[in-house]
Every structure is written in structure tokens, then in C-alpha cells.
């Protein structure tokens, strides 16, 4: 290869570095940033002079745990390449997701001389993905989790071996709710369901989860609770909240609540058995209300 060929190749690589829409940063093994391209400046808001000599950690949004970065560096050292989704931070402080690939460059001795990171801002992709996830896992009326969303949460709690090893669920069924629809119409029935959802949420802790899994059926997920007494206290607060919400609707029989409680793992170690147990307990209460 002639000097002219080398020169043309360098010109081409320089043009790609300057004109690509992907943000690029080059670091030493330390790592310290030694160069960035115009797309990096446009995406992050940082000028080259802001970041030269700085660690790439200046961009970190600190939304991934230390284990994430440890695994990233382990793969980089083993294979010389890593690719994945990370959350970084613009100079303005705005957090954004990016698809990042990092490649190691080696010197003649086989040692890493530089790392090249190239990334795309994938904010729009993540927004669409989150929107689709909400559509699939969210009840469209109340904006609570639906049955699928609840199953995902329950599965996560059961698989979390480092976290809470017990939790409780309360299965709530609204008695006589059909009379609201029959007497006042479905629009008023929907409005009441929305109000009930809001009032139920007010009875719960920040870490608790509320889902609507049927027309007039709700499930409360209570992390860390392992005995019936505090669960019954929550259930009674929910019962009173429903009664207050439905008080202005006058029907032949007032809207009330039947509920059942399941404790994990005492009453079952699968989603199906836990919900079945709570549903059975709820049905027994419902039968008592009819006596």
C-alpha cells in the first residue's frame, strides 16, 4: 500500500468520524476520553473541551447497578467487544437511553491501546416500547395493572431470591356492582370504578401494587407482609373506601366488598394457587354476605 493509499484511507476514516450520526468517543485504557466526534457533542450537549481528559463516567445516569458495569468490563476484557443498552445523561441533566457498542483497539504487543465507543440515542424506540408494554399490561379504564401485568409482578417477587421472601395478596370483589350499571348506566359505572381505584390506592403503601383483573375484581399485592392481621387491616380500609366512594349511588343493595387473602409461600408457591386460595376465601365471605 502506497503513501497515497494510506492518506486516502485516513481521509475516509476522518470523514466517517466527523459525519456519522452515531456519537463516538475514544478513550485510553484508564479510561480517559481523548476524542469525540460532532455527533457526540450534538447528542450529549457536551463540547469536546468539556470532556477531554475526563472519565466516560461523566455521562453516567447511574441508573444501572455496579454489577451491570462489572459484567460489561469483564466481557470487554475477555472478548474485546461489548454491546448493550445503557442510560446516560446529557449536559443538561436529561437522562436518555442509548444503544452503545464498545470495541478495544490493540497495539503491536497485543495490549489495549484505546477503546472506541459508538452510540445512538434510542429515546423514541424506548418510548414506543414502553407505550406498547403499557397497552399490554395496563387496564385501559383505571390505568392500573391488568391480569397480565399482575402476573409479571408476582413472578418477579417469586424469583427475587435476594429480596423479600414473603408477600401477601388481597383478592377484592365488589358486591352488587352490577346494580350500578343497571340503575345508572355503564358510563356512571365506569366513573365509579375509576373513583374506587383512586380510593383504593390511597389506602396502600408506596411499595404496594394494585391491579384490576376483571370487571369488578381487584388484587392488592403487599410486599413483605407475612401475617393475616396487617393484611386484614388493609382489607378493611379498602372496604370502607369502596363504601364511601359508592355512597352517593342509591341501589336496592349497596355496593360492598368481599375479599380473600393469600400469604406467600404459606398458601401456595405459584401464582395460580395463590390466586385460587384468595379467590376461595373471597367467595366464602361473599356467601356469608348473602346469608
Least confident interval from 145-149, 155-159, 276-280: 155-159
Count CB atoms within 10 A of the CB of residue 162. 5
Between 6 and 231, whose confidence is greater?
Answer: 231
Q: In the predicted model, is pLDDT for residue 45 greater than 80?
A: yes
Which pLDDT value is given to residue 3? Answer: 46
Phi, psi (deg, nearest 5) at residue 15: -65, -40
**Is residue 90 very low, low, confident or very high in pLDDT (cuts 50, 70, 90)?**
very high
Q: With contact defined as beta carbons under 8 Å apart, do 117 and 25 qualify?
A: yes
Which pLDDT value is given to residue 81? Answer: 94
Instruction: Estimate the crossing angle of helix 123-137 against helix 147-159, to 10 degrees.
Output: 110
Q: In the predicted model, is pLDDT for residue 124 greater than 50?
A: yes
Q: With contact defined as beta carbons under 8 Å apart, do 164 and 223 qualify?
A: yes
**Is residue 115 very low, low, confident or very high in pLDDT (cuts 50, 70, 90)?**
very high
Architecture of domain 3-127: 2-Layer Sandwich (3.30)
Q: In the predicted model, is pLDDT for residue 15 greater than 80?
A: no
Which pLDDT value is given to residue 126? Answer: 84
Q: In the predicted model, is pLDDT for residue 200 greater than 80?
A: yes
Q: In the predicted model, is pLDDT for residue 164 greater than 70?
A: no
Average pLDDT over residues 30-52: 94
Q: In the predicted model, is pLDDT for residue 130 greater than 80?
A: no
Is the N-terminal amide bond of 249 cis, ω within 30° of 0? Answer: no
Q: In the predicted model, is pLDDT for residue 12 greater than 90?
A: no
3-state secondary structure 24-77: EEEECCCCCEEEECHHHHHHHCCCHHHHCCCCHHHHECCCCCHHHHHHHHHHHH
Q: In the predicted model, is pLDDT for residue 6 greater than 80?
A: no
C-alpha cell at 125: 424506540
Q: With contact defined as beta carbons under 8 Å apart, do 50 and 91 qualify?
A: yes
Count CB atoms within 10 A of the CB of residue 226. 16
Average pLDDT over residues 205-210: 94
* Percent of the residues in the chain that have a pLDDT greater than 90, as a whole number: 71
Largest CA distance in the chain: 98
pTM of the predicted model over 0.75: no
Q: Where are the domains of the chain?
A: 3-127, 138-290
**Is residue 92 very low, low, confident or very high in pLDDT (cuts 50, 70, 90)?**
very high
Of 282, 235, 255, which Cα lies nearest the Cα of 195?
Answer: 255
* 91 CA to centre of own chain: 25
SS3 helix, strand, coil % of the chain, rounded to 5?
Answer: 45, 25, 30
Phi, psi (deg, nearest 5) at residue 60: -65, 135
If one looks up domain 138-290 in CATH, what number appears?
A: 3.30.70.270
Average pLDDT over residues 198-212: 95
Average pLDDT over residues 229-257: 94
C-alpha cell at 198: 383512586
Amino acid at each position: 500500500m502506497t503513501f497515497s493509499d494510506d492518506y486516502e484511507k485516513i481521509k475516509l476514516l476522518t470523514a466517517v468520524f466527523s459525519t456519522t450520526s452515531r456519537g463516538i468517543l475514544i478513550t485510553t485504557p484508564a479510561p480517559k476520553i481523548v476524542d469525540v466526534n460532532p455527533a457526540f457533542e450534538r447528542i450529549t450537549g457536551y463540547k469536546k473541551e468539556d470532556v477531554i481528559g475526563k472519565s466516560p463516567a461523566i455521562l453516567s445516569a447511574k441508573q444501572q447497578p455496579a454489577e451491570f458495569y462489572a459484567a460489561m468490563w469483564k466481557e470487554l476484557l475477555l472478548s474485546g467487544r461489548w454491546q448493550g443498552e445503557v442510560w446516560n445523561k446529557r449536559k443538561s441533566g436529561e437522562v436518555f437511553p442509548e444503544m452503545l457498542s464498545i470495541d478495544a483497539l490493540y497495539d503491536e504487543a497485543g495490549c489495549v491501546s484505546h477503546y472506541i465507543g459508538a452510540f445512538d440515542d434510542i429515546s423514541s424506540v424506548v418510548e414506543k416500547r414502553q407505550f406498547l408494554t403499557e397497552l399490554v399490561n395496563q387496564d385501559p379504564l383505571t390505568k392500573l395493572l391488568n391480569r397480565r401485568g399482575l402476573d409479571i409482578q408476582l413472578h418477579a417477587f417469586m424469583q427475587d431470591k435476594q429480596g423479600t421472601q414473603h408477600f401477601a395478596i388481597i383478592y377484592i370483589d365488589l358486591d352488587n356492582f352490577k346494580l350500578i350499571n343497571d340503575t345508572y348506566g355503564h358510563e356512571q359505572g365506569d366513573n365509579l370504578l375509576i373513583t374506587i381505584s383512586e380510593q383504593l390506592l390511597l389506602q396502600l403503601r408506596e411499595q404496594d401494587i394494585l391491579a384490576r383483573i376483571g370487571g369488578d375484581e381487584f388484587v392488592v399485592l403487599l410486599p413483605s407482609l407475612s401475617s393475616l392481621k396487617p393484611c386484614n387491616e388493609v382489607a378493611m380500609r379498602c372496604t370502607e373506601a369502596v363504601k364511601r366512594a359508592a355512597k352517593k349511588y342509591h341501589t336496592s343493595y349497596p355496593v360492598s366488598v368481599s375479599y380473600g387473602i393469600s400469604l406467600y409461600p404459606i398458601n401456595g408457591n405459584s401464582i395460580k394457587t395463590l390466586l385460587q386460595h384468595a379467590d376461595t376465601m373471597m367467595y366464602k365471605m361473599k356467601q356469608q354476605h348473602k346469608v
